[in-house]
Chain A
Amino acid sequence: MRRTKVASRDSSLSPVTYLPTAAWPEADEAELVRGLQQGDSRSAREAWYRYGPTVRRVLLRALGPIAELEDLSQEVFITFFDRVATLRDPRTVTAFLMSITAFRIRHHLRWRWVRRWVVPAGSAPPVDLRTIQADDDAREALQRFFAALDHLSPIDRTAFTLRFVEQLEMQQVADALGWSAATTKRRLAKIWKRLSALLRNDAALAPFLAKREGSS
């Protein structure tokens, strides 16, 4: 399906028109994918509202509340709409979308690494957690955690997020990253060990951890 067809067929959008959030909530995945492959605008809208929050959540948990989150989410859907015609089994639509999201995360991390060298230091906006986490110690801990994640390679960071934060099954992570099951298992154990070592002796986490122990 070409996305331009979707745009041209649905001319009902205007800034002042009220539209319901879900366009086709009763559609199952097979109907939805078939609709997308046939260029049905109702299916595109439904896919946006059905899968959009999940895509945003995975991006947010992998990258933190970065300014580019909305753009990345859009990039995922542009690719999704572009490639959905190649999807043979509609039951794999979620895994398909997850693999696109994983690719986008890795792409963004690689680009960020390049940008860090090209753009003068200090010009990148810091991760802004003020409206996300009001607790000082927790915010500090999050900053340290995302800084530790920066030490991982893009693909390792993506794998960590999908498996341990998103809690996907091992096979789902393997599918999303194009790894074998054995490689996934081995790499994840290694990633967990490395990240543990990075955080275990971080003194800046102490206030948050002390508070957590105090409350438990």
Chain B
Amino acid sequence: MKPPADERVPGDATLESMVRLVRRTFPDGGRVDEAGLRRLRERGPRPRRGRRLAFGALGLLVAALPLALVLALRPGPLTFEVIHGSMIRFSDGTEIVLERAARAQVRDVAAHGAGIVLFEGRAHTSFIPRPKASWQVLAGPYVVRVTGTVFDVEWSRDHQQLDVWMQKGSVVVTGPMVEAGVAVSRDQHLSLRPDDRRIVLEKGSVEQPEAPVEAPPPAPPPEPVAEHKVERAAIHGTDPSVVPWGRRLAQGDFEAVIVDAERRGVREVLTRGTRADLAALADAARYTRRADLARRALIAERARFAGSTAAREAGYFLGVLSEDEQTWQDALEWYARYRREDPAGTYAGPALGRTMVLEARHQGNGAARADAQEYLSRFPSGPYAPTAQQVLRAAQ
């Protein structure tokens, strides 16, 4: 918005643009829901002011004592240098090598890591494993969370495609289609193609950085580890001008999917929509916190496409939804069901990890012990491995 004349200063078009961007990006605050109201009721009344002041004073006193020590021991941020315009080397030894035509930026440099924004192209990364290390590679709408590892990552801005080739260690990738996070381990290749609603996690070593000029000999097909392929959403008849829901999701335009579904009739989509329709609607509803709609879409997906990978995975996401709504018993049930139905599925690790976390939180570390052991034996470098180790130590 333009401020009134008496508040304006010359040359503030940039700020006006930014205000418009904020208003456009956050047009509303999203819907409030029953889970929020329930939490509100459970939190109880505000404590009396006198008691709050007493607690506050005590807290300040307790905090003041170690504050000086904490400030004194606080580590400084990492430093980095750019070598020959294509290599970023951090003071802890971490190196990022950009291929020709790749563009990246370093941001949020802290004591234990930084964010690498990959705008375009491919990068070879080598992160040094350290305690508390916290690194992220941000590529388009995706975030690759790094836990000390060597891998290549490629982001195609034009095609909105992400590829991750793991060489050593593991990462967790989140973003469209993998909102709950997918773990990629050593010698695996993750390929995300939102336009085709396609997620492929396969065995495969790191490809050569530069593609050969001559046509390569035909390669044998990769051995699939887990594949979730859903046909392109045929949701708008034959009108080619309408953007498919999968693309809308990839662009982050979740509201458009919801609006489209409501225009067609949610019941109609749930009973007659394709598997891709239901998956896209469930994702859009989850991203916009419409838990009820997401649940209906996921349940429809399970009922109508029983036996498919997508139907089994819907069970996992129902667990995530239940967890979001604080109904942890339901979440445990859904995770258990998913693990029974698809023990080696894409989300087997996260389902086991979430189960362990919920058990530890609500039933004690003893109850989570078996799952922690199983997690460490199956996913020793998975994202829940440190938690599993903590659970085992506490359960002793």
Say whether A associates with B: yes
Q: Are A56 and B43 in contact (CB under 8 A)?
A: no
Chain A interface SS verdict (over half): helix
Q: Are B26 and A57 in contact (CB under 8 A)?
A: yes
Q: Are A136 and B3 in contact (CB under 8 A)?
A: no
Q: For the complex, what is the distance from the CA of A55 to the CA of B19, rounded to whole Å?
A: 18
Q: For the complex, what is the distance from the CA of A209 to the CA of B115, rounded to whole Å?
A: 23
Confirm or deny: B45 has a beta carbon within 8 angstroms of a beta carbon on chain A.
yes
Contact (A138, B141) CB under 8 Å given A48-B36, A192-B8: no
**Which B5-32 residues sit within 8 Å CB-CB of chain A?**
6-9, 11-12, 14-15, 17-19, 21-23, 25-26, 28-32
Question: In the assembled complex, how far is the CB of residue B189 from the closest CB belonging to chain A, in whole angstroms?
Answer: 22
Confirm or deny: B39 has a beta carbon within 8 angstroms of a beta carbon on chain A.
yes
Confirm or deny: B84 has a beta carbon within 8 angstroms of a beta carbon on chain A.
no
Contact (A3, B41) CB under 8 Å given A133-B25, A196-B14: yes
Contact (A121, B14) CB under 8 Å given A7-B41, A48-B36: no
Q: Are B3 and A163 in contact (CB under 8 A)?
A: yes
Confirm or deny: A214 has a beta carbon within 8 angstroms of a beta carbon on chain B.
no
Q: For the complex, what is the distance from the CA of A120 to the CA of B133, rounded to whole Å?
A: 12
Closest to A124 in B: B110
Residues of A within 8 A of B (CB): 2-4, 6-7, 10, 13, 15, 19, 45, 48-49, 52-61, 65, 70, 73-74, 77-79, 82, 117-118, 120-123, 126, 128, 130-134, 136, 138, 140-143, 145, 163-165, 167, 170, 185, 188-189, 192-193, 195-196, 199-200, 202, 205, 208-209, 212
Contact (A53, B28) CB under 8 Å given A126-B136, A165-B19, A185-B7: yes
Which 7 pairs between the two chains have the least Cβ-Cβ distance? Answer: A56-B29, A122-B110, A52-B32, A57-B29, A134-B252, A122-B112, A7-B41
Q: Are A48 and B32 in contact (CB under 8 A)?
A: yes
Confirm or deny: B46 has a beta carbon within 8 angstroms of a beta carbon on chain A.
yes
Which B residues touch A200, using CB under 8 A?
Answer: 11-12, 14-15
Which A residues touch B138, using CB under 8 A?
Answer: 130
Which A residues touch B223, using CB under 8 A?
Answer: none
Contact (A142, B8) CB under 8 Å given A53-B29, A122-B112, A164-B3: no
Contact (A122, B111) CB under 8 Å given A3-B45, A79-B46: yes
Confirm or deny: B80 has a beta carbon within 8 angstroms of a beta carbon on chain A.
no
Contact (A133, B252) CB under 8 Å given A126-B115, A141-B18, A200-B11: yes
Which A residues touch B31, using CB under 8 A?
Answer: 53
Which A residues touch B77, using CB under 8 A?
Answer: 121-122
Which A residues touch B215, using CB under 8 A?
Answer: none
Question: In the assembled complex, how far is the CB of residue B371 from the closest CB belonging to chain A, in whole angstroms?
Answer: 24
Which of B67-75, B230-238, B258-266, B336-344 makes up part of the contact surface?
B67-75
Which B residues touch A193, using CB under 8 A?
Answer: 9
Contact (A134, B141) CB under 8 Å given A118-B70, A141-B21: yes
Q: For the complex, what is the distance from the CA of A98 to the CA of B194, rounded to whole Å?
A: 40
Q: For the complex, what is the distance from the CA of A192 to the CA of B9, rounded to whole Å?
A: 8
Which B residues touch A196, using CB under 8 A?
Answer: 9, 11-12, 14-15
Q: Which of A56, A61, A126, A131 contacts B108 (CB 8 A)?
A: A126
Q: Are A192 and B7 in contact (CB under 8 A)?
A: yes
Confirm or deny: B251 has a beta carbon within 8 angstroms of a beta carbon on chain A.
yes
Most buried by A among B26, B46, B140: B26
Question: In the assembled complex, how far is the CB of residue B158 from the closest CB belonging to chain A, in whole angstroms?
Answer: 12
Closest to A14 in B: B38
Most buried by B among A13, A122, A205, A208: A122
**29 pairs, CB–CB < 8 Å, chain A vs chain B:** A4-B45, A13-B34, A48-B40, A52-B29, A53-B32, A56-B30, A59-B29, A70-B36, A74-B40, A77-B40, A118-B67, A121-B75, A121-B76, A121-B112, A122-B77, A122-B110, A122-B112, A122-B132, A128-B143, A130-B141, A130-B175, A130-B252, A131-B175, A134-B253, A138-B25, A145-B21, A189-B3, A189-B9, A192-B12
Q: Which of B23, B34, B41, B105 contacts A19 (CB 8 A)?
A: B34
Which B residues touch A185, using CB under 8 A?
Answer: 6-7
Question: In the assembled complex, how far is the CB of residue B98 from the closest CB belonging to chain A, in whole angstroms?
Answer: 16
Question: In the assembled complex, how far is the CB of residue B43 from the closest CB belonging to chain A, in whole angstroms?
Answer: 6
Most buried by B among A7, A19, A136, A188: A136
Confirm or deny: B61 has a beta carbon within 8 angstroms of a beta carbon on chain A.
no
Q: For the complex, what is the distance from the CA of A49 to the CA of B107, rounded to whole Å?
A: 38
Confirm or deny: B79 has a beta carbon within 8 angstroms of a beta carbon on chain A.
no
Closest to B71 in A: A117
Closest to A200 in B: B14
Q: Are A134 and B39 in contact (CB under 8 A)?
A: no
Question: In the assembled complex, how far is the CB of residue A214 from the closest CB belonging to chain B, in whole angstroms?
Answer: 13
Confirm or deny: B134 has a beta carbon within 8 angstroms of a beta carbon on chain A.
yes
Question: In the assembled complex, how far is the CB of residue B173 from the closest CB belonging to chain A, in whole angstroms?
Answer: 11
Question: In the assembled complex, how far is the CB of residue A91 from the closest CB belonging to chain B, in whole angstroms?
Answer: 23
Q: Which of B4, B36, B110, B119 contacts A74 (CB 8 A)?
A: B36
Which B residues touch A4, using CB under 8 A?
Answer: 44-45
Q: Are B15 and A82 in contact (CB under 8 A)?
A: no
Closest to B10 in A: A196
Question: In the assembled complex, how far is the CB of residue B127 from the closest CB belonging to chain A, in whole angstroms?
Answer: 14
Contact (A2, B29) CB under 8 Å given A121-B77, A167-B1: no
Most buried by B among A3, A65, A164, A212: A164
Question: In the assembled complex, how far is the CB of residue B85 from the closest CB belonging to chain A, in whole angstroms?
Answer: 17
